[in-house]
């Protein structure tokens, strides 16, 4: 074999038609497998993740039942309720009935709770409005009402303000719910509740709501 033939042989071994063909067929097979993964497995995984995300969030949003371990969130077996019949009260419980206040419905108000709250079944119907001062249009309260013909829960709230209510002149018992301090007052068949949560000061007025229903409602807010 001449030098020329030797060099030609070496070059043809290095750049070889059959070797290149085999390599191409391998790449074709590899691409088919990748496409299988792309078109079958990946969409399936994405759909599974999406469904899981929906189910998880639905579970959180629509679960009105209080988990059993949340009972421990209330320190003590019962709410500490202050009997308002026995004291003079400077607390304004009729925050929307002042003659200087106007109400405006169908207006956007910020929802103050971080999740769906637990309200009695018969009070599903609700309305919301802004209560503001007639003279200067300053907002007095945002108000959400859960009500029927016979009873209601009225939630009034505004951006947290230390002067919103001052109870320093009253000897008040507090209830601790999930580390939030709550003052609860009772007069006749009404409850009046004050607390601060999520940067809002709340005043809640109820009529003909039982103590258990009030407890469930408060715990569902303050989780």
Q: Which residues bind another protein (CB under 8 A)?
A: 1-4, 6-8, 10-12, 14-15, 17, 19-21, 23-24, 27-28, 31
Cα(77)–Cα(173) distance, integer angstroms: 15
Nearer to another protein, 10 or 138 (CB): 10
Report the chain's C-alpha Rg in angstroms: 34
Give min distance, CB of 23 to another protein, in A.
Answer: 5
Nearer to another protein, 37 or 62 (CB): 37
Nearer to another protein, 10 or 86 (CB): 10
Give min distance, CB of 30 to another protein, in A.
Answer: 10
* DSSP run (H or E) holding 31: helix 17-36
Give min distance, CB of 38 to another protein, in A.
Answer: 14
Give min distance, CB of 37 to another protein, in A.
Answer: 17
Give min distance, CB of 44 to another protein, in A.
Answer: 24
Nearer to another protein, 11 or 78 (CB): 11
Show contacts of 187-194: CB within 8 Å, 24+ apart. Answer: 187/83, 187/84, 187/85, 188/85, 190/93, 191/81, 192/84, 192/91, 192/93, 193/218, 194/91, 194/165, 194/167
- Asked if 64 and 118 touch (Cβ cutoff 8 Å), the reply is yes
Q: Which residues are within 8 A (CB) of 126 and not within 5 positions of it... i.e. 6 or more apart?
A: 144, 145, 146, 147
Cα(111)–Cα(114) distance, integer angstroms: 8
Cα(107)–Cα(104) distance, integer angstroms: 7
Nearer to another protein, 14 or 179 (CB): 14
Give min distance, CB of 29 to another protein, in A.
Answer: 11
Nearer to another protein, 39 or 53 (CB): 39
Length of the chain: 223
């Amino acid at each position: 074999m001449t030098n020329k033939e030797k060099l030609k042989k070496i070059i043809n071994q290095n750049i070889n038609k059959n070797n290149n063909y085999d390599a191409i067929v391998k790449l074709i097979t590899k691409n088919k497998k990748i496409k299988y993964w792309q078109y079958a497995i990946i969409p399936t995984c994405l759909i599974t993740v999406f469904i899981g995300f929906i189910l998880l969030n639905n579970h959180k949003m629509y679960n009105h039942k209080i988990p059993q371990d949340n009972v421990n969130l209330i320190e003590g077996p019962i709410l500490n309720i202050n009997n308002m019949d026995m004291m003079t009260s400077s607390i304004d419980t009729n925050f929307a009935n002042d003659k200087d206040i106007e109400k405006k419905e169908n207006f956007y108000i910020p929802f103050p709770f971080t999740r769906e709250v637990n309200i009695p079944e018969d009070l599903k119907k609700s309305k919301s409005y802004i209560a503001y001062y007639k003279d200067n249009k300053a907002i007095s309260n945002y108000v959400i009402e859960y009500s029927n013909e016979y009873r209601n829960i009225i939630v009034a709230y505004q951006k947290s303000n230390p002067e919103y209510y001052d109870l320093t002149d009253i000897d008040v018992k507090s209830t601790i719910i999930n580390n939030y301090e709550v003052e609860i007052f009772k007069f006749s068949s009404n409850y009046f509740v004050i607390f601060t949560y999520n940067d809002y000061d709340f005043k809640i007025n109820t009529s003909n709501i039982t103590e258990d229903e009030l407890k469930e409602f408060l715990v569902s807010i303050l989780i």
